[in-house]
Amino acid sequence: MTHSDILIIGGGIAGGSLAAKIAPHRSTTLLEAEANFGTHSTGRSAALWEPFYGLDIIRKLCWASEAELITRDVLSPRGILYLQEADRPRDTFEDILKQPGAQHLDVAAAQAMIPILRADAFVEAAYGPKAQDIDVDKLFQSFLKEARAAGAMLVTNARVTAIRHEAHWIVDTPAGTFTANTIVNAAGAWADQVATLAGITPLGIQPLRRSMARIPAPGGHDISRWPMVVSAAEDWYAKPDAGKLLVSPADEDPVAPMDAWPDDMVLAEGIARYEAFVSEPVTRVEHSWAGLRSFPPDRTPAIGFGGEGFFWCAGQGGYGIETSCALSDLGAALLQGEAPSLDPAIVAALSPARFA
């Protein structure tokens, strides 16, 4: 048996970033069920740091992560353009315009940014200049490197099969049995399953499938400086990526925890919605995939203790990468019994105790 102060279950961005922050202070083991770290949601993310979007608490966590993301040199300019249709609700659009620095654009100004936009498809646009691409692999690998350098044990092919508590936690996996004073549930879509194994009440975390297609640059355009573009109705988005264009139907289909794959019909519908806004048709899909965005019922992450020696670090949904720096700092502070740097109101809103 291998004993640690902290045993983190789940080797995605949540577990990896927390391992980097806690390993210098506590002996730490990081377990990953798959053969490679970051196999599921982390490795399939079209990550954007976008502090204008999502719940207010998510925006605050994005801003709180900005300085570290800059220090880690993983951000690059992108911008984001929201398109408002004439006959669709304006709630999201109006909310975006209220954010600091947001710009209200007419159709012509939006076309100047993305020349393939059809003038008859939308009536106005909102531009968020702060949005930036995140180099997910560079960020994630930096966390893993720091965890290893601090002495953490990183173990793959270690899917948890049983958890029990005697004098301490005992966790069985195909890679061996591990013991710890505290276990951290950073298992993403599988977080409720891990809780059940440990005899802890699940939080109701629901995995939602998000599909993605990679298509050639429309019409041969140089799209490297195009912003990400999003329907204000939130039913499709497109984002430049390495000379190609990523297109998603922005789907959120409830599924069981799984190695997700795209639904061809859902993907086709999303591409059709995108095509209705542009003058260049989609001639082929070069690659498609899907990931899982897992949320508690209130769509707010759960960070904190949820039982004796049982710590939640789950429910980040589609915001886990852009908020990872702030959430890992918070997790490390709470695990050490220290006062977090975040506003106490944010800490309380993230606590799993809200479900009690």
pTM of this prediction? 0.95
| Interatomic CA distance for residues 270 and 261, integer angstroms | 15
Token reading at 268:
């086709």
Given this model, what pLDDT does residue 43 score? 83
Q: Using pLDDT thresholds of 50, 70 and 90, give the confidence band for residue 281.
A: very high
Instruction: Give me the domains of the chain, ranges plus CATH numbers.
Output: 2-43+136-204+297-355 (3.50.50.60), 80-129+206-295 (3.30.9.10)
**Could you report the per-residue pLDDT of 75-112, keeping only the tens digit for each?**
999 999 999 999 999 998 999 999 889 999 999 999 99
Given this model, what pLDDT does residue 340 score? 97
pLDDT score of 247 more than 80: yes
pLDDT score of 40 more than 80: yes
**Could you report the per-residue pLDDT of 179-211, keeping only the tens digit for each?**
999 999 999 999 999 999 999 999 999 999 999
Percent with pLDDT over 70 in the chain: 100
Token reading at 230:
């999003």
**Could you report the per-residue pLDDT of 305-353, keeping only the tens digit for each?**
999 999 999 999 989 999 999 999 999 999 999 999 999 999 999 999 9
**Could you report the per-residue pLDDT of 100-147, keeping only the tens digit for each?**
899 999 999 999 999 999 999 999 999 999 999 999 999 999 999 999
| Interatomic CA distance for residues 148 and 229, integer angstroms | 38
Given this model, what pLDDT does residue 194 score? 98
In three-state form (DSSP H/G/I as H, E/B as E, the rest C), the secondary structure along the chain is: CEEEEEEEECCCHHHHHHHHHHCCCCCEEEECCCCCCCCCCHHHCCCEECCCCCCHHHHHHHHHHHHHHHHCCCEEECCEEEEECCCCCCHHHHHHHCCCCCEEECHHHHHHHCCCECCCCCCEEEEECCCEEECHHHHHHHHHHHHHHCCCEEECCCCCCEEEECCCEEEEECCEEEEEEEEEECCHHHHHHHHHHCCCCCCCCEEEEEEEEEECCHHHCCCCCCCEEEECCCCCEEEEECCEEEEECCCCEECCCCCCCCCHHHHHHHHHHHHCCECCCCCCCCEEEEEEEEECCCCCCEEEEEECCEEEEECCHHHCCCCHHHHHHHHHHHHCCCCCCCCHHHHHHHCHHHHC
